[in-house]
Amino acid sequence: MIAILLAGVLMAVAGCGGENGEGQGVAPDPTESTAASSPAATEPGPIPTATADAPSRASTTTKAPTSTPTATPPAPTATKTPTPTPTAVPASTSDMEGLGFGGTVKAHQKISDLQGGFTGILDNEDRFGVSVANLGDLDGDGVVDLAVGAPLDDDGGNDRGAVWILFLDDDGSVKAHQKISDIQGGFTGILDNGDRFGRSIASLGDLDGDDERALVVGAYRDDDGGTDRGAVWILFLNEEDDIVGRKLPILQLGQE
C-alpha cells in the first residue's frame, strides 16, 4: 500500500517537472507547444473614422486645377496685292511706233548730221537735240512732227542758237525741215551772242485761236536787264510758204 502511494507521489513529481522543467523525458504535448509558440490572437481595435474636424490628408490636399492654355488666334494672312497687268496700248496707224507692248524697242530711227534723211547743216558743238518738242501733225500727213533745239548754233553770231522744225515720214525719217534762227525762218527777233536760243522748247498748241500752232523757246542767257537774265520767245507758226513742194510752217511773229 505504501509502495503504491509512493509511486503515485513520484508520478506526480514527474508530472510537475515535465511542465516546468527542461530536459525531462516526457514529450511535450504538441498542442500545448503550438499554443505557447503562437502569439495570442488579439481582437482588432476599432477602425478610426475620419471626422469633419480632422479630415484626412487626402481630403485636405487639393490639387490646383491645371489651366487650359488659350489658343492664340492665327495671325492675319497678308493679302498680296496683285501686280497690275500692263495694258496693251492700241497700235498706231503710223508705222513709226518704235516700242512693243512690253516697252521694248521693235524699231529705231536716228536723226543726225549723217542719218535719218536730215539734210540740214550742223556744225561742231551745235548741240542739236538738247531739247525736243512734239508739235503734232503740222502738215496734215497723219504723222507727228518735231521741234529740235540747237542752242550753240552760230547763225548770226557765236552761240546764238536755233530751232529746227522736222517734218517726219511714217518711218521716223525726215522728209523736210525748217530752221528758225537769227537769220532764218522768218524770225525777226534780236538774238545776241551767247543767248542760246533753243535750249528749251515746248509746244503751246493753238494759242491765239487761229488753228495754227505756237511754240515757246527758251534763251536762258539773254541779257535783257542784265547779264544772263534769260528770256522766253513765243513763236506763232503759219502755213503760208510752200517749202519743198509742201505747205510748211514758218515763223509768223516773235515776241519777247
The position carrying cell 493753238 is 206
Domain count, the chain: 1
With respect to residue 41, please indicate whether it lies within any of the assigned structural domains. no
- Mean pLDDT to the nearest integer, 145-149: 96
How far is residue 50's CA from residue 115's CA, in Å, rounded to a whole number?
117
Q: Note the pLDDT tens digit of each residue in 161-189.
A: 999 999 999 999 999 999 999 999 999 99
Rg (CA), the chain: 63
pLDDT at 212: 79
Q: Note the pLDDT tens digit of each residue in 37-83.
A: 444 444 445 544 444 444 444 444 445 555 555 555 555 555 555 55
Q: Point out which residues pair with 223 in neighbouring strands.
A: none
**Please, which pLDDT band fits residue 243 given cuts at 50, 70 and 90?**
very low
How far is residue 241's CA from residue 141's CA, in Å, rounded to a whole number?
17
With respect to residue 118, please indicate whether it lies within any of the assigned structural domains. no
The pTM (predicted TM-score) of the whole model is: 0.57
With respect to residue 101, please indicate whether it lies within any of the assigned structural domains. no
Residue 84 exposure: Cα atoms within 13 Å on the Cβ side: 3
With respect to residue 4, please indicate whether it lies within any of the assigned structural domains. no
Domain that holds residue 162: 131-255
> Identity (one letter) of the amino acid at 66?
T
pLDDT at 190: 93
Q: Note the pLDDT tens digit of each residue in 97-139.
A: 566 677 899 899 999 999 999 999 999 999 999 999 999 998 8
With respect to residue 182, please indicate whether it lies within any of the assigned structural domains. yes
